[in-house]
Amino acid sequence: MARVDERQPVIDRLAATGVDDDRRRGRGAVTNPSGRYEPIARVDEDDGWGSAGALAPFKTHVTLETPRSIISRNESPDIPFDRSINPYRGCEHGCIYCFARPTHAYMGLSPGLDFESHLFAKSNAAELLERELSVKGYKPAMMALGTNTDPYQPIEREHKIMRGILEVLARFNHPVGIVTKSALVLRDVDILAPMAAKGLTKVYLSVTTLDPDLARRMEPRASTPAKRLDAVRQLHAAGIPAGVMVAPIIPALNDHEIERILEAAAAARASDVNYIFLRLPHELKDLFREWLHDHYPGKLNHVMSLVKDAHGGADYRARFGERMKGDGVYAALIAQRFKVATERLGLNRERQKLRTDLFKVPAKRGDQLALF
């Protein structure tokens, strides 16, 4: 096993840790480096018999897990929710910019290719949710889904954990906000539409680019941009408020598309729009550099220079109030362009607040009937 010096230039690190194109076909990350908690770094190295080239492609493996709780809490002042649910760990969409990638290090796995191929499904999520919502004194507020990994990633077709969660939330009349890159959300219109009629739900489709080639490279297993926008149209037609997240905005890569994406969102009848600037915590800063070198080598220095301009000279600063939008001249220009475009298109004039007053723990079989 060889140690890899993280200070090496990107091209040197790729030579040491890069994964063969055929093995990672249809994946986002270029490498599969060890997580930050591992004592050593492991790399594939040919033993002289050509065995490295015979390694099997990265296939999706799903491990069922049964956590003891399902609602995660946060007190972050720059996040508009205080509770969320993540049905899955890891995400098969393979978005190279995903700020959740470093969380796979907690599992002893790589934030690189492992993050998008070694997945964990919380099979008892609906059961746990029902129990936690039934606790005496529980006070409802918007439940956020899709804030870490996508609840509608491809394995949801088989496991249906997200659907089970929505069924529970619907029974309790609990408000929910969803962010996804998948048109699979349309499968659950039969649950979401009645909830929307009560003011209990809102969906955001994340649209990073309108360029199908860039999307295929950057988010290889997510729905195409056209399908995401069509999902916005269909959700709107079903009476479900559907917005668009331009997330993330990446300097010199998709920032020129801001106005075009917002125009497409308006045409799709998006209820409102928002954006997030590129975030590169922990291992992600190297994974993203490697991806740029592999796909857009001529843009690597330009992109990272502007990223640093928006984060005070660093690849990323996790300061509240700055981490989502960035800071500095370039970040201010992005904010102004977004504001001007939304005003021109008539977007963001109203933002719907989800209701909490309808929440009620449903009666269970055997409960004593209420007196009247």
pLDDT reported for residue 45:
62
CB count in 10 Å sphere of residue 56:
7
Supply the mean pLDDT for the chain.
91
The share of the chain scoring above pLDDT 90, in percent, equals 78
Q: Answer whether 264's CB lies under 8 Å from 251's CB.
A: no
User: Could you give the CA distance from residue 95 to residue 102 in angstroms, rounded to a whole number?
Assistant: 13
Q: Answer whether 34's CB lies under 8 Å from 41's CB.
A: yes
pLDDT digits (tens, 9 = 90+) for 182-199: 999 999 999 999 999 999
Give DSSP secondary structure letters for 123-184: TTHHHHHHHHHTSTT----PEEESSSS-TTSTTHHHH-HHHHHHHHHHHHT--EEEEES-GG
Does residue 372 register a pLDDT over 60?
Answer: no
The share of the chain scoring above pLDDT 70, in percent, equals 89
- Residue 3 pLDDT class (50, 70, 90 cuts): very low
Answer with the residue of higher pLDDT: 54 or 212: 212
Q: Set out the domains of the chain in order of their start, with CATH numbers.
A: 10-45+56-345 (3.80.30.30)
Tokens, residue 371:
């007196």
Does residue 172 register a pLDDT over 80?
Answer: yes
Give DSSP secondary structure letters for 245-305: EEEEE-TTTTGGGHHHHHHHHHHTT-S-EEEEE----TTHHHHHHHHHHHH-GGGHHHHHH
pLDDT reported for residue 202:
97
- Residue 58 pLDDT class (50, 70, 90 cuts): confident
- Helices then strands (H, E): number in the chain? 12, 10
pLDDT digits (tens, 9 = 90+) for 243-280: 999 999 999 999 999 999 999 999 999 999 999 999 99
Length of the chain: 372
For residue 36, the SS3 value is coil
User: Could you give the CA distance from residue 89 to residue 91 in angstroms, rounded to a whole number?
Assistant: 7
Cross-strand pairs, 205: 180, 244
Measured at the CA of 108, the angle between CA 288 and CA 31, to 5 degrees, comes to: 30
pLDDT reported for residue 37:
87
Q: What is the pTM of this model?
A: 0.90
Does residue 9 register a pLDDT over 80?
Answer: no
- Residue 46 pLDDT class (50, 70, 90 cuts): low
Does residue 288 register a pLDDT over 90?
Answer: yes
pLDDT reported for residue 5:
45
Does residue 52 register a pLDDT over 70?
Answer: no
pLDDT reported for residue 25:
83
pLDDT digits (tens, 9 = 90+) for 201-249: 999 999 999 999 999 999 999 999 999 999 999 999 999 999 999 999 9
pLDDT digits (tens, 9 = 90+) for 340-367: 999 999 999 888 899 999 999 998 766 6
- Residue 145 pLDDT class (50, 70, 90 cuts): very high
User: Could you give the CA distance from residue 59 to residue 179 in angstroms, rounded to a whole number?
Assistant: 26
